[in-house]
Amino acid sequence: MSAVVITNCPDLELIARGKVRDLYRVDANSLLFVATDRISAFDVIMNNGITNKGKLLTEISIFWFSFLKDVLPNHLITANFEEMPDKVKQYRDQLEGRSMLVKSLRVLPIESIVRGFITGSAWSEYKKKGTVCDIALPSGMQESEEFPEPLWTPSTKAEIGDHDENIHPSKAAAIIGEKHAAEMEKVSIELYTKARDYAKEHGIIIADTKFEFGVDENDTLYLIDEVLTPDSSRFWPASSYKVGAGQDSFDKQYLRNYLDSIGFDKSTGITLPDDVVSKTMTKYQEAYKLLTGKEPQL
């Protein structure tokens, strides 16, 4: 089976194609989120996809939506394909296993990033300035060290081809309002903390992750998009975790490291070698199995 890198559903209204997801309107109250097999790194979409990656991301998101529903309601109506409207079912070959029927909500234009451990761009900034997203931190921290408390470091949502911009938490209020910014910070930390504690018991350290939120007509906040997947999070094996160095991972970091090793210019997608595609998917599957205790239904 080849990778599904683009969907074509002419009887559904295509709203947007993101880096990974195709978004369709089903009716006035619902949308169809479709996780394709596209993969991006450094905000650039690669030329080839990873077969069944979209199905795996969907399964992981469904798991977390269920696990976290007591913290905050989410936008999921159903992921059971048999419960989808008939105009969706006609595209079964493309969509089954990689689609979620979700509530149509107003998306808040902030990516809500929670960092539990210092790594990646946070580590780079800290080494230069002693800060992360301009938040002052204790001196003497080491790479991959856990923060005293999780940090909320929001970013702007960039268009495809542009880069998200990390911002100081105080700037989020200017974009989405003080009420939503305060609520987003509080609930993001709660979501991360509950997931972090569960994952640690199952052999995975969630170093950081990205949440997205929307609101309904009553201004009620919902968790939306994907949740705690290897695309949106850094997952480290707890068994080999060691402060003071970079970590092995079950996420997209393997792909980023490969691209760095070949001098990728971060401007135009390339065709990934088969072994990089295979190794990336294997890491994603390992994360799923550790977190859920099950084999993915691919």
Element (H, E) at 237: strand 233-237
Mean pLDDT across the chain, nearest whole number?
96
122 in the same domain as 247: yes
Boundary (domain end) residue, out of 75, 104, 133: 104
166 in the same domain as 48: no
**Exposed/middle/buried for 98, CB within 10 Å: 0-12, 13-18, 19+?**
buried
Instruction: Give the tens place of pLDDT for each residue, 258-290.
Output: 999 999 999 999 999 999 999 999 999 999 999
Looking from the CA of 8 toward its CB, the CA atoms found within 13 Å total: 0
Instruction: Give the tens place of pLDDT for each residue, 164-210.
Output: 788 889 999 999 999 999 999 999 999 999 999 999 999 999 999 99
**292 in a domain, yes or no?**
no
163 in the same domain as 100: no
248 in the same domain as 119: yes
119 in the same domain as 76: no
176 in the same domain as 72: no
191 in the same domain as 60: no
**287 in a domain, yes or no?**
no
**Residue 137 pLDDT grade (very low, low, confident, very high; cuts 50, 70, 90):** very high
145 in the same domain as 40: no
190 in the same domain as 115: yes
Residue 75 has pLDDT above 60, yes or no: yes
**Cα(188)–Cα(97) distance, integer angstroms:** 27
- Phi first, then psi, for residue 270 (nearest 5°) are -120, 170
**Residue 43 pLDDT grade (very low, low, confident, very high; cuts 50, 70, 90):** confident
**Cα(244)–Cα(80) distance, integer angstroms:** 44
Structural domain total, the chain: 2
Residue 9, both tokens = 């559903």
- Phi first, then psi, for residue 109 (nearest 5°) are -80, 50
Ramachandran area for residue 97 (φ above 0: left; ψ -120 to 50: alpha; else beta): left
Question: What pLDDT was estimated at residue 164?
Answer: 76
**Residue 159 pLDDT grade (very low, low, confident, very high; cuts 50, 70, 90):** low
**259 in a domain, yes or no?**
yes
**Cα(69)–Cα(162) distance, integer angstroms:** 32
**296 in a domain, yes or no?**
no
Boundary (domain end) residue, out of 81, 104, 127: 104
Residue 103 has pLDDT above 60, yes or no: yes
191 in the same domain as 127: yes
135 in the same domain as 179: yes
Going by C-alpha positions, the residue among 134, 136, 160, 162 that lies closest to residue 147 is 136
CATH number at residue 222: 3.30.470.20
**Cα(61)–Cα(56) distance, integer angstroms:** 9
What does the pLDDT average to over 49-72?
98
Residue 162 has pLDDT above 70, yes or no: no
**Cα(5)–Cα(254) distance, integer angstroms:** 20
What does the pLDDT average to over 220-228?
98
**294 in a domain, yes or no?**
no
End-to-end CA, the chain: 11
CATH number at residue 41: 3.30.200.20
Question: What pLDDT was estimated at residue 297?
Answer: 87
Question: What pLDDT was estimated at residue 65?
Answer: 99
Question: What pLDDT was estimated at residue 298?
Answer: 87
Task: For residue 64, give its domain range.
Answer: 13-104
What does the pLDDT average to over 156-162?
67
Residue 93 has pLDDT above 70, yes or no: yes
**2 in a domain, yes or no?**
no
90 in the same domain as 37: yes
Residue 116 has pLDDT above 80, yes or no: yes
Note whether 53 and 29 are within 8 A (CB). Answer: no
Question: What pLDDT was estimated at residue 243?
Answer: 98
Residue 158 has pLDDT above 80, yes or no: no
Q: How far is CA 52 from CA 35, 44, 146, 276, in A?
A: 9, 20, 33, 15
